[in-house]
Amino acid sequence: MPGSLTMARTAAEVIRISRYASPCELFAARSRSHKIPARGQKDFYPDDSEEQRQRLQQSLDEHWNLIAEERVERLGNLVKATWVPSDQIVELQTPAGKFWQTMGFSAEGKQYLLPEEALYLMECGNLLVFHQDLPLSIQDGYEMFLSSDGVSLQQYQVFGHLKRLGYVVHRFDPSSEPSSYVRQLNLPQSRERGGRQLKRKRSPSPTPTCSHTKTTGESLAEKMEDDDKLPESHLMTSAEPPEPQTASPHSAAKGQARTWWMMDAPELEADKISSPGSPSGRLRWNFSTIPFPDLGSTSRPRCMVPVDPSLLPRNVTVGVCDLDSWMRKINLRKVKMSVKEQQREKRRRRWDVNKDREVQRCRNWAEYHELLARRQAKRQGRPAHLWNREVKPLHDPTQPISTAELLEKISVVKSTNLLEGASRLKCSEEWRICFNVYQPDSVADFKKSNPGKPYSRMCVCSFDGPVPDLRVIKQLAFQSGDVPIVYAVVDHGDISFYTFKDFQLPRDVYA
Amino acid sequence: MEAPPCSQVEELQQEQEHGSSLVVGLSLCDSAPLLWRFQDLKTVRSNSLVGALLGSLPRTPRQNIRLGRPLLLMPEEERVLREHHGAAALSARNQDAAGAAELRQRYEEEQQRSLEEQSILALEDRKSALLRAMTSSSGSESGAGSDEALQCRLLALEQNFSFPRSALAVQLSTARAGLSQCQEDRAFLEADWPIREQDSPRRDARYQVFRDLWGRGFFLTSAGKFGGDFLVYPGDPLRFHAHFIAVCLTLDESICMLDVLSVARLGSNVKKTVLLCSPAPDGSVHYTSLQWSGMM
């Protein structure tokens, strides 16, 4: 019956199986097969049939054969190294093999491997590590190289999983990551990857690139000021704020209002001058305050208002406009009106305000004015009961507004993106990025001194632990810059990989 | 499900009375219990404890489909072993100077012996290869002439043969060679694995459910990827698919309807039945299965 206990074999048998292989067995291991048997189809339910029992036994035997097999290698194929516990590092004694292209580092003329890299190479059968002149077993490696202070068992599981798939995996060092501004400037990167490991006891030295980029950044900003293309400077995405000098020619020339520059300005008539606003406001025109004279109406045109010089391009002056000649050129053809329209015109011309019953009901001028105001409001779609109270409608339907802006106005929940406010967050103690991961096909021309931008960064956690909250996700995403973060969740033998991506709901076609 | 789960425990006690106790050696790595010795893995599996393999497979290390030793135990598996006095601590690596010097000497001697033996084996191998080649090429000819030539060739081979140290085949052991070397050390293997886990109602509930299902003969593995606590197999996971996803809850824990829906949906997607399991105060466990029935 499955589940009943079976007796362990006798002690002698135990000893025979688990001791070192004899030289004869080692020699014979040269011609071992390198294939693993494919797993067959599984059954659904145990039915105590002999066939099932046999298949199970066969699967188990295959399984045990694979598990029991030990790693046997020619001594000449193995790279030898020693474990240095004081530095938590593995020092190579013989020259490194092919793995040197993506793993390890040089320091003080010697070659070193990080503990997780050494353990992985031990498991691959490429490396033989000695400690106190005795070779370490894989078990020794696990117990001595992995700890919660350095690389934990879960982190090593993720490391090993990715390495076995072919990825290049390096430890993540937050202080040696260039900021997005530095990357924008495309400065040559230099990485002193290994030296940092050995100098771990000292405080981390500030990277030399930081101060360098600050000075170049400043000189670039100065160049922008001297440039004549001043409006463009407002639109550049650089981190430096636009210098006040760039806007000074504008404000110096006209001390007048820039009412049509600002979206939030109240509706003004053209000849009113409001207080000068800030010139670095948004460059949007408020057409409701720019008067366009209506010369085509049948009523007599008013006098032409002089054009605000700030509306005109530089070096263009406008004199007095002779309206008469223009008026003679328009309204030359008689407008063809339908019967209904003709009747409407006749009614309009004959309209006598005194015949209006509502007007007759007004007893004084005040009431008449109220009547007019009410009618005006209704016509404009601004009924008094809505607009004359404390709580007004959010938007006047007669005013033009784009869909995006309208959605902005009515939105209670504002959409945001992942990195908003992320720079203010402090680093959390439990959550940190562990590894940089580079793609397998980059191995051929991979350079340890200049690995380039990683494919992704790994943060290792487990199903037993807490789920990363928004704060953690934001903080780690900010620390990672433009490289996506993958959360590797370890659940005993299984690893699941998750990422969080920003998603924008579409709001407006032109927004 | 009314059968009491004590049959398992009784059998174990009977085994102990017979004097052949089943003990496996656990060692901690970063506070996780690992099994390294091949025999221990076999023992544990024959008692329907599956565990999870973590290491590279020696034959094909650069793939993730089949992994090799060590075997990681779930906290529930570890506790079951401990409560049945089946878990013992493996000795740590010998760090003291005197012991190390002796081991070093033994290692050197073994290497030398291995080198000599393998050298002889290699020579034999080459001789027989030469013999095969010569007899097959000169099959039709026979007589003392070819025999002499053969002997000359063999002699020359022996004189010029050298087996360099770099050709020596060495073993990179998976498990540390320790107690299994000496028979008397087994007596010192006391099955007194300490209690490591903190008590929490959740962990306790999980353990009660695990013990009950294990006692009924099911194989259980962890089911984080399936949104539950355990995957329940009717037989060895090598040959059978899992039938149930067990979600462990204490009797007084309330569960949100959305969680029930999501786990039921997940279960139906992977074609497994979801079991809500709650241990009762009297030691039994209440099971409720969820079935997704559509509207016809």
Q: Three-state DSSP class for A38?
A: coil
- How confident is the model at residue B96, as a pLDDT? 66
pLDDT category of residue A407 using cuts at 50, 70 and 90: confident
Judge whether B176 and A136 are in contact, CB under 8 Å. Answer: no
Alpha-helical (H) ranges within B163-250 are 201-215
Distance separating alpha carbons of residues B83 and A146, to the nearest angstrom:
28
Element (DSSP H or E) covering residue A342 = helix A339-350
pLDDT in tens, A88-106: 999 999 999 999 999 999 9
**Cα dihedral A474/A477/A482/A484 (nearest 10):** -120
pLDDT > 70 in chain B, percent: 82
pLDDT score for A278: 38
- Contact state of B39 with A4 under an 8 Å Cβ cutoff: no
Q: What part of A 410-469 touches B (C-beta under 8 Å)? A: 463
Q: Which two tokens stand for residue B102?
A: 């002796």
Whether the per-residue pLDDT at B26 is higher than 60: the answer is yes
Among A18-22, A58-62, B213-217, whose mean pLDDT is lowest? A18-22
The answer for B 83-142 residues in CB contact with A (under 8 A) is: 92-93, 100, 103-104, 107, 110, 113-114, 117-118, 121-122
Residue A271 has pLDDT above 50, yes or no: no
- Interval A420-431 mean pLDDT: 81
CA A225, A228, A234, A238 torsion-angle sign: negative
Report pLDDT for A63: 93
**Residue B141 — very low, low, confident or very high, per pLDDT cuts 50/70/90?**
low
Instruction: Name the residues of B annotated as catalytic.
Output: 233, 241, 272
pLDDT at B189: 57
Q: Cβ separation of A152 and B239 shorter than 8 Å? A: no
Among A95, A94, A146, CA closest to A120: A146
Tell me the mean pLDDT in the region B257-278. 92
Residue of chain B whose alpha carbon sits nearest to that of A140: B176
In DSSP notation, B10-47 reads HHHHHHHHHT----EEEEEETTEEEE--HHHHHHHHHT
* pLDDT for res B256: 93
Tokens (6 digits) for A335? 């407008």
| Share above pLDDT 70 across residues of chain A, in percent, rounded to a whole number | 70
Q: What angle do CA B53, B56, B61 make, to 5 degrees?
A: 145
Please state, as a whole number, how many other Cβ atoms lie within 10 Å of the Cβ of residue A474: 21
| Band (B142; pLDDT cuts 50, 70, 90) | low
pLDDT, tens digit, for every residue of A474-488?
999 888 888 999 999
Contact check, Cβ <8 Å, A147/B214: no
| Closest C-alpha among A113, A140, A34 to residue B58 | A34
Highest-pLDDT range among A97-111, A396-410, B87-101, B126-140: A97-111
Model confidence at A339, pLDDT cuts 50, 70, 90, reads: confident
Task: For residue A140, give the nearest of B20, B62, B176 by CB distance.
Answer: B176
pLDDT of residue A281: 42
Rounded distance between C-alpha atoms, residue A247 and residue A260, angstroms = 17
| Chain B: residue whose CA lies nearest to A152 | B30
Is B157 exposed, middle or buried, given 0-12, 13-18 or 19+ CB atoms closer than 10 A?
middle
A 136-155 near B (Cβ less than 8 A): 137-140, 142-144, 146-148, 152-153
Please say if the pLDDT value at position B78 is more than 70: yes
pLDDT grade for B260, boundaries at 50, 70 and 90: very high
Q: Is the pTM of this model over 0.80?
A: no
pLDDT grade for A326, boundaries at 50, 70 and 90: confident
Residue A437 CB contacts under 8 Å (≥ 6 apart), including other chains? A162, A167, A168, A169, A454, A455, A456, A457, A458, A486
Identify the pLDDT of residue A509: 59
Which residues is B230 bridged to in the sheet?
A: B222, B246
Supply the pLDDT for residue B224.
87
Beta strands A105-107; A110-113: pairing state: antiparallel
A110-156, pLDDT tens digit by residue? 999 999 999 999 999 999 999 988 999 999 999 999 998 889 999 99
CA-based nearest residue in chain A for residue B96: A132
Q: How many angstroms separate the CA of residue B136 from the nearest CA in chain A? A: 23
What residues are paired with B274 via a beta bridge? Answer: B245, B290
In chain B, which residues have their Cβ closer than 8 Å to the Cβ of A164? 56, 61-64
**Which residues lie closer than 8 Å to A387 by C-beta, 6 or more apart?**
A377, A393
Chain A residues touching B32 at Cβ < 8 A: 153
Q: How confident is the model at residue A192 (pLDDT cuts 50, 70, 90)?
A: low
User: At B231, is the pLDDT very low, low, confident or very high (cuts 50, 70, 90)?
Assistant: very high
Question: Of B209, B214, B235, B230, whose CA–CA distance to B9 is shortest?
Answer: B214
Q: What is the average pLDDT score of chain A?
A: 74
Residue B191 or residue A151, greater confidence: A151
For tokens 């599956």, the residue is B50
A445-477 pLDDT, tens per residue?
A: 888 888 888 999 999 999 888 899 989 999 998
Task: List the single residue in A with minimal CA-CA distance to B179.
Answer: A15
Q: How far is CA B111 from CA A70, A132, B162, B222, B251, in A?
A: 17, 16, 17, 43, 61
The three-state (H, E, C) secondary structure of A382-425, written as one string? CCHHHHCCCCCCCCCCCCCCCHHHHHHHHCCCCCCCCCCCHHHC
Average pLDDT over residues A275-295: 59
Say how far apart CA A4 and CA B7 lie, in whole Å.
Answer: 9
